């Protein structure tokens, strides 16, 4: 299996993390985002929106990181990252949707301003950060209440629903917004556990 992506892309990391949790290592083919390779005809034939990552599993082409993560969990050997019962799967999907719709779009606005803009020599707009902090905090409040009841989001099992938050949380903490995590006791405990997972450390090299 080949994964076309970039080592600092959150969506690429999400897929590499999934494979590592299953005990596998994907062959990463680097798409040079700085050179605009993700908008090349070559890459557009794999990912028509010009985004990363894209999977090639022996000729089977698949994109969208959360779809790839679910697929790898199904077809690779190793620990299951999806609950075995319908209600557990439903709760995993609920928290995956919360990540996609209620958490990540807001958290990434903070990351773009505080982390990515300075890397590109662009200014950080703190008004955007302040605006995005409110809904990011609201999502983390909801997550905190759930994690006061269960160890992981979908219950007692670590699932894809926890895994998908990790690349975004990593960058949020690196964006001097770690207080959003630390101020919430259960989120802080969860993040401490998630960020210490050997599979995640293998992805970040830390």
Site string for its own copies, 102-121 (x = CB under 8 A): x-------------------
Site membership for its own copies, residue 48 (CB under 8 A) = yes
Secondary structure, 3-state, the chain: CEEEECCCCHHHHHHHHHHHHCCCCCEEEECCCCCCHHHCHHHHCCCCCCCCCEEEECCEEEECHHHHHHHHHHHCCCCCCCCCCHHHHHHHHHHHHHHHHHHHHHHHHHHHHHHHHHHCCCCCCHHHHHHHHHHHHHHHHHHHHHHCCCCECCECCCCHHHHCCHHHHHHHHHHHHCHHHHCCHHHHHHHHHHHCCHHHHHHHCC
Which C-beta is closer to its own copies: that of 25 or that of 49?
49
Residues 49-88 binding its own copies (CB under 8 A) are 49, 60, 62-64, 66-68, 70-71, 74-75, 86-87
Per-position x/- string for 4-33, each x denoting binding to its own copies as judged by CB under 8 A, each - no binding: ------------------------------
Q: Are 2 and 27 in contact (CB under 8 A)?
A: yes
Which of these ranges, 17-25, 116-124, 134-142, 190-198, lies near its own copies under the rule CB under 8 A?
Answer: 134-142
Work out which of 97, 122, 150, 192 binds its own copies, going by CB under 8 A. 97
In the list 96, 107, 166, 181, the residue contacting its own copies (rule: CB under 8 A) is 96
Decide whether 69 or 169 has the Cβ nearer to its own copies. Answer: 69
Binding site residues, its own copies, CB under 8 A: 48-49, 60, 62-64, 66-68, 70-71, 74-75, 86-87, 89-91, 93-94, 96-98, 100-102, 138-139, 142, 145
């Amino acid at each position: 299996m080949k994964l076309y992506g970039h080592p600092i892309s959150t969506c690429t990391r999400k897929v590499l993390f999934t494979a590592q949790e299953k005990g596998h290592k994907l062959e990463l083919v680097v798409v040079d985002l700085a050179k605009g390779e993700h908008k090349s005809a070559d890459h557009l034939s794999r990912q028509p929106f010009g985004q990363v990552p894209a999977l090639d599993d022996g000729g089977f082409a698949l994109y969208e990181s959360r779809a790839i993560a679910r697929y790898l969990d199904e077809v690779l050997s190793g620990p299951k990252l999806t609950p075995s019962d319908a209600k557990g799967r439903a709760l995993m999907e609920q928290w995956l949707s919360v990540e996609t719709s209620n958490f990540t779009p807001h958290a990434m606005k903070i990351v773009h301003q505080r982390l990515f803009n300075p890397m590109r020599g662009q200014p950080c707009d703190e008004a955007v950060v302040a605006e995005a902090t409110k809904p990011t905090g609201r999502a983390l409040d909801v997550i905190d209440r759930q994690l006061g009841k269960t160890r992981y989001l979908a219950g007692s099992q670590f699932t894809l629903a926890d895994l998908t938050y990790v690349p975004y949380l990593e960058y949020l903490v690196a964006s001097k917004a770690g207080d959003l995590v630390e101020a919430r006791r259960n989120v802080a405990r969860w993040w401490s556990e998630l960020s210490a997972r050997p599979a995640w450390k293998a992805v970040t090299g830390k």
